Amino acid sequence: MEGLVLVLSITFSALLSVVIGFAAWFFSTKTPDKEKLSPYECGFDPIDQLGNPVSVKFFLIAILFLVFDLEVALLLPWSRTVGAIPLYNQGLVWVFILFLVWGLVYEWVAGGLDWE
């Protein structure tokens, strides 16, 4: 019985994904212009600016986003089982959260989040 529920869930999810994808394609506006056909959404023209340097701030912000996003993703399973885990493990998670907040405050004070 559990196998049937799993197969039905996967089938329903796949079908719903196809229907939503088709609806998005069908109802979207299809007026391509130079900006929409560009491989970059940040405004760079890859053909005209081959030799121009790219600001390192783009990469720093991306790395900061990846680090904090990964750590938040690690906290999501914990939030579902917070009442079922021992108190010692909850203390470790709170130390982890404090470490995250400390890292965010440090980046903020050090100017890592400023775009100037």
**For the segment 65-80, what is each residue's pLDDT rounded down to a tens digit?**
888 888 888 888 877 7
pTM across the whole model: 0.48
Is the CB of residue 75 less than 8 Å from the CB of residue 90? Answer: no
Is the CB of residue 107 less than 8 Å from the CB of residue 113? Answer: yes
What is the pLDDT, as a whole number, of residue 51?
64
* Sequential pLDDT tens for the chain (116 residues): 788 999 999 999 999 999 999 999 999 877 777 777 776 666 666 666 566 676 778 888 888 888 888 888 888 887 777 777 788 888 888 898 899 899 889 988 988 777 77
Count of domains forming the chain: 1
What is the residue range of 72's domain? Answer: 1-110
DSSP 8-state assignment for residue 39: S
Residue 82's domain is classified under what CATH number?
Answer: 1.20.58.1610
Is the CB of residue 45 less than 8 Å from the CB of residue 38? Answer: yes
Q: Is residue 99 included in any domain, yes or no?
A: yes
